[in-house]
Amino acid sequence: MENINAIRSEISDAAKDIRLNLSNVLQSTLLNESQSWMVALTSSYFLRCRKLSDAILADASSIIGEAGDNDCQAAAAIMGMNTVYYRFRHMIGKESYHQRRASLRMNHMMNPETNKTDFELCSMACAALAGCEACIKAHEETLLGAGLSEDHVHEVVRIAAVIQGAVVALS
């Protein structure tokens, strides 16, 4: 975690909690190492924090590989689109919008380079960061249906929350 530690050193004492959480949250006991890093990397891509993304990728590339990085980028981009679209449909509350086809390509979501569960974990992080209720519920249902627990979902959201805090602290 050499690069993450360098980033942590840039976080002020006023945000010491974030600095400490940034190292602790990546040591998950529920998610495997690859999943933790992928969720963190996807979150940083989704939040468009290049400095943090570069640091996470430098520390995680040997763990997640090129396929993992590709899935992180794809999850962040697709969820960037989906959270706007589905949050709008949810917030407008009109059945007429729910009857329309989205007609948005999401092929990578159905055929990730790593596996569907890890891609869903990454998508859940983005859904939580965007505050998209419809997306959060859909991805939680998929993860629970894949045999993961609410504790796994909770861990994903914790990682995403700390990455968000780190982005704010570094700004």
Question: Sign (positive/negative) of CA torsion 50, 51, 53, 58?
Answer: positive
Under a CB-based contact definition with an 8 Å cutoff, are residues 119 and 156 in contact?
no
- Name the nearest CA neighbour of 112 among 145, 148, 75: 75
What residues are labeled active site?
132, 135
Under a CB-based contact definition with an 8 Å cutoff, are residues 126 and 80 in contact?
yes
**For residues 159 and 93, what is the distance between their CA atoms, to the nearest angstrom?**
30
